[in-house]
Amino acid sequence: MPDLPFSTEEYADRLARARTAMEARGLDAILVTDPSNMAWLTGYDGWSFYVHQGVVLRGDGDPVWWGRAMDAVGARRTTWLPDDAIRGYDDTYVQNPEKHPMQDLSRLLRDLGLSRARIGLEMDNYYFTAAAHMSLQSGLPEAALADATGLVNWQRAVKSPTELTYMRRAARIVEAMHAVIRDTARPGLPKNALIADIYHASVAGADGHWGDYPAIVPMAPSGLDATAPHLTWDDSPLRTGESTFFEIAGAHRRYQCPQSRTLFLGRPPQKYLDAEKAVLEATAAGLDAARPGNLCEDVAQAFNGTLNRLGFHKDSRCGYAIGLSYPPDWGERTMSFRAGDKTVLQPGMTFHFMPALWLDDGGLEITEPLVITETGAECLCTTPRALVVLD
C-alpha cells in the first residue's frame, strides 16, 4: 500500500464533494487534468504533467487515472486506486504530430460508457490544450463537452486538519529560508550563491520535516529589476543602496506556504521607510478584516483604503488562495482579495496576503500566508514583519 498523505476516509469525502458539485452542474463525469486536483482526489504525485494525463471521475465507482504508460507505475506507487483503475497509453502517443493521446482517452471514455455523456473539462488551466479539446471532440462526437474549470479547485477551499498541518510545516521551512537571507546576504555576494543557499534550506526542511519543491522558483530581483514583480536571479552581486525582494515558498508534501520579504543593504531612502509604514499599517487593517463571514473584497477594501490614505496605491489584487499546488503556480486559482470578489470567508481557508508595492526604483514585498480561524486570521509564519535592513 502506498504511503498516502491522507486517510482513505478523507479521500472519500473529497470524492463526495466533487460529485456533489458535478451533479449540481448536470455532469455525468469530469476529466481532471490539473495535477493539484489529480493529487487531491487520488494522491497521484509525479513530475509527469508535461505530457497529457488526467483523472476521470464519474458519478460512482473508483476514479480512473489515465496517463503515459511509464507513469502508470508512479500512479500505483502514489495513489489509493486499484490496479484496474490505472490506465496507461502507448509511448508512441507522446509528442507525436501524427497522433494525439486524447485519441486513446476517447476510446477509454467510450469503454467507460461515456460516449454520449455530459463530460466536464478543465478548459482554462495550464495542462489542457486546444489540440486536446479538438481531439476529444473528434473522438466523442455524441458527447457533450462542458467547461468545468475550477470545479475541483473550489472543493479544496476549506482545508482539513491534516492539510493545515502540512501547511504549518511548510511555514517553518519558509521561515528558515528567510533566516538564511538575513544571515547570509552581504554586499558583493553573487545572487545565485544566495539562491543556492535558499534552495538548500527549502529542501533540507525544518523541525524534522522534509522540504518539497516549491511550485514557483524564487523571485529575487534587485534595484530597477525589482520594479517588475516576476523576475528571478542571475549572478550579479548584491549592492549597497539597492532593494531586493525575495518571494519564496516553503513546501511540504506539495502544500505551499509562500512569503515575501524585502532586503535593503545600507540606509534605506525615506520613501522606502514611508512605504514600509504604509504597507504595515494597511496589512494590519486587512488582517483585521480577514475573519469568518466577511467577504474577500472586504479584506481588499480595508487594505487599499488604508494604503491610499497614506499616499500609496496598488492596482493588482492583494491576496489569493493557496494550498496544494504544482508548477507553474502556487495559487489555487479560486478566490482573490480584490474588489468584486464576494466569496464568504470560512474557517480553514488559506491565503497568501500579498500587499506588494512596486516603486519607481525598486520593490517592497512584505507578505503573509494566513489561515482563517473561527474568530479571525492567523498568520502561519513568525518571520519578522518589516523591511530587512543590513547596514
pLDDT in tens, 45-100: 999 999 999 999 999 999 999 999 999 999 999 999 999 999 999 999 999 999 99
| pTM, entire model | 0.96
Query: Residue 240: what residue type?
Result: T
pLDDT of residue 65: 98
In angstroms, rounded to a whole number, what is the distance separating the alpha carbons of residues 254 and 377? Answer: 23
Query: Residue 389: what residue type?
Result: V
Angle between helices 35-42 and 8-24 (to 10 degrees): 120
In angstroms, rounded to a whole number, what is the distance separating the alpha carbons of residues 23 and 188? Answer: 59
pLDDT of residue 265: 97
Pairing type for strands 368-372 and 377-379 reads antiparallel
pLDDT of residue 360: 87
The radius of gyration of the chain from alpha carbons, rounded to an integer in Å, stands at 22
Q: Write the DSSP symbol of residue 83.
A: G
Name the grid cell of 306: 488604508
Distances (CA, A) of 177 to 106, 200, 283: 45, 9, 22
Other C-beta atoms closer than 10 Å to the C-beta of 7 total 12
Other C-beta atoms closer than 10 Å to the C-beta of 16 total 11
Pairing type for strands 363-364 and 357-358 reads antiparallel
Q: Write the DSSP symbol of residue 229.
A: S
- Which domains are present in the chain? 8-155 (3.40.350.10), 161-390 (3.90.230.10)
pLDDT of residue 359: 87
Pairing type for strands 255-265 and 388-390 reads parallel
Is the backbone peptide bond immediately before 328 cis, with ω within 30 degrees of 0? Answer: yes
Contact between residue 339 and residue 314 where contact means Cβ atoms under 8 Å apart: no
In angstroms, rounded to a whole number, what is the distance separating the alpha carbons of residues 220 and 194? Answer: 10
Q: Would residue 253 be called left, alpha or beta, if left means φ above 0 and alpha means ψ between -120 and 50 degrees? A: left
Alpha helices in the chain (DSSP H): 8-24, 35-42, 69-78, 101-111, 130-139, 151-155, 161-184, 191-204, 270-289, 296-309
Contact between residue 166 and residue 5 where contact means Cβ atoms under 8 Å apart: yes
Contact between residue 287 and residue 353 where contact means Cβ atoms under 8 Å apart: yes
In angstroms, rounded to a whole number, what is the distance separating the alpha carbons of residues 356 and 366? Answer: 6
pLDDT of residue 304: 97
Closest CA to 155 of 298, 330, 37: 37
Low-confidence ranges of the chain (pLDDT < 50): none
